[in-house]
Structure 1
Amino acid sequence: MLEDADEGGIKLWHLVKPTEEPELPKHRRGSLRDRERAKAIPEIYLTRLLSMKGTLQKFVDDLFQVILSTNRPVPLAVKYFFDLLDEQAIHYGIADPETIHIWKTNSLPLRFWINIIKNPQFVFDVQTSDNVDAVLLVIAQTFMDSCTIADHKLGRDSPINKLLYARDIPRYKQMVERYYADIRQTISASDQEMNSALAELSRVVLCAGERLPASSVSLQIITALEEDPTAQKMQLGYRLQQIAAAVENKVTDL
């Protein structure tokens, strides 16, 4: 077969793979080295990852223990809603424990706690770096895997973040199951108790609003946005003024 190459000439091609790999063109050698280097990176940093995991292990264990502990009274809303899910399962004849487990997991751990773990700025006045965000994503994924019943089959090609906590996830799964079981055994919350709790929460929010008027809060935020260079370019202060005015007009109309 004629070969289109600078040297020209004829090259033999076979239907079987040769024992020795042919020399790759120069433009492909670099990409092959890049792929080999990318495969080697996880092995190079595996020791560092394991060291970092050992440093953070106690903090991760403490975090999961706080989230999945019933040593302190379980929030009334959680108990009330979990009991509601159990009642609905009985009402519709759903006896599969995995289904009820998934209901509770999707309603609290994956709906609430995952967001808090990945985004601590939702609760705390902090700014996280890219490195911290990456670490929090690994912890959040571990917590998510711990809340599932299905076993995750891991192999050599599995992501490193899953391999790091592969031995810990069975223990975390037991914590989740025990958490749900402990909540089920606590005293049920009546509709009257739930309504009273919601009324008290509404009263607290209203009192807080009276102590610090919304207009005062908006003014402080608008002032801060107008002083921030990035916010100035995006006109965030002006946009917030428009939103505050629209909300105030809507409340007045009511």
Structure 2
Amino acid sequence: MDTTGSNRSDICCSLISCCLPLRFWVNVIKNPQFVFDIHKSSITDACLSVVAQTFMDSCSTSEHRLGKDSPSNKLLYAKDIPSYKSWVERYYSDINKMPAISDQDMNAYLAEQSRMHMNEFNTMSSLSEIYSYVGKYAEEIVCALEEDDAARKQRLAFKLEQVVAFMSLES
């Protein structure tokens, strides 16, 4: 019996279970001020760190051996981790059983979402954000543009300097 597909699926789930929680959810859990307009006290920060660690342990594919020298935050939810792990495993198993979405269906869905939200995009706000970034890193961007052959041919560094100078006069 060939288990290559099964191993590949396990590896993918393992990578996803590490990547998605670590890159996104743990960051949101530990830093709610990124999403909500709140102040996070040091006590709240400590509590959220315990919750985030429990979440990471629940999504981990490795077993954690706990002993008398283990940190208290790991011991706090140690008895709950196995049930959380089973929830995570079932979640990825359910995803694995779902039918694949074709590129064509995905592109059609994204095009529809883009069309539905077309009027929600604030162009001026976006340009302002881009300009604040460009203003902050203008020297580095100009240097990079001057070093690039295609950008040099189109005189992008000069054009960018003109835009920065014009915007400086406007503000």
TM range, smaller chain: 0.5 to 0.7
Deviations 1:47-106 (A, max 9, x none): xxxxxxxxxxxxxxxxxxxxxxxxxxxxxxxxxxxxxxxxxx74xxx7266423321113
Matched with 2:77 is 165
1:155 to 2:67 alignment: yes
**Offset at 1:241?**
8.9
Larger radius of gyration: 1
What secondary structure does 1:108 align onto?
Answer: helix
Contact 2:18 2:59 in 1 (8 A): no
Distance (whole Å) between structure 2 residues aligned to residue 197 and residue 113 of structure 1: 25
Contact 1:98 1:149 in 2 (8 A): no
Distance (whole Å) between structure 2 residues aligned to residue 127 and residue 154 of structure 1: 34
Q: Which runs of 5+ in 2 are unaligned?
A: 140-158, 164-171
Distance (whole Å) between structure 1 residues aligned to residue 116 and residue 39 of structure 2: 29
- TM-score, L = length of structure 1: 0.46
Structure number having the greater helix percentage? 2
Q: Percent identity?
A: 48
1:213 to 2:106 alignment: no
**Offset at 1:242?**
2.9
1:196 to 2:108 alignment: yes
**Offset at 1:191?**
0.7
Distance (whole Å) between structure 1 residues aligned to residue 127 and residue 9 of structure 2: 50
Amino acid at match of 2:7: A
Aligned counterpart in structure 2 of residue 185 of structure 1, from 97, 110, 115: 97
Contact 2:18 2:60 in 1 (8 A): no
Matched with 2:155 is none
Q: CA RMSD in A?
A: 3.3
Q: Which runs of 5+ in 1 are unaligned?
A: 1-88, 219-238
**Could you say if the C-alpha distance between residues 192 and 102 of structure 1 is closer, same or farther in structure 2, counting changes exceeding 3 Å?**
same
Distance (whole Å) between structure 1 residues aligned to residue 34 and residue 114 of structure 2: 21
What secondary structure does 1:137 align onto?
Answer: helix
Matched with 2:156 is none
Moved more, 141-150 or 199-208: 199-208
**Offset at 1:183?**
1.1
Matched with 1:224 is none
1:242 to 2:135 alignment: yes
Contact 2:26 2:52 in 1 (8 A): yes
What secondary structure does 1:95 align onto?
Answer: helix
Distance (whole Å) between structure 2 residues aligned to residue 215 and residue 177 of structure 1: 40
**Could you say if the C-alpha distance between residues 241 and 204 of structure 1 is closer, same or farther in structure 2, counting changes exceeding 3 Å?**
farther
**Could you say if the C-alpha distance between residues 178 and 133 of structure 1 is closer, same or farther in structure 2, counting changes exceeding 3 Å?**
same
- Structure with more relative contact order (C-alpha pairs < 8 Å, separation 6 or more): 1
- TM-score, L = length of structure 2: 0.66
Contact 2:30 2:49 in 1 (8 A): yes
**Offset at 1:201?**
4.1
1:111 to 2:4 alignment: no
Distance (whole Å) between structure 1 residues aligned to residue 39 and residue 111 of structure 2: 34
Deviations 1:11-34 (A, max 9, x none): xxxxxxxxxxxxxxxxxxxxxxxx
**Could you say if the C-alpha distance between residues 200 and 106 of structure 1 is closer, same or farther in structure 2, counting changes exceeding 3 Å?**
farther
1:124 to 2:36 alignment: yes
Distance (whole Å) between structure 1 residues aligned to residue 96 and residue 107 of structure 2: 20
**Offset at 1:193?**
1.8
Contact 1:117 1:136 in 2 (8 A): yes
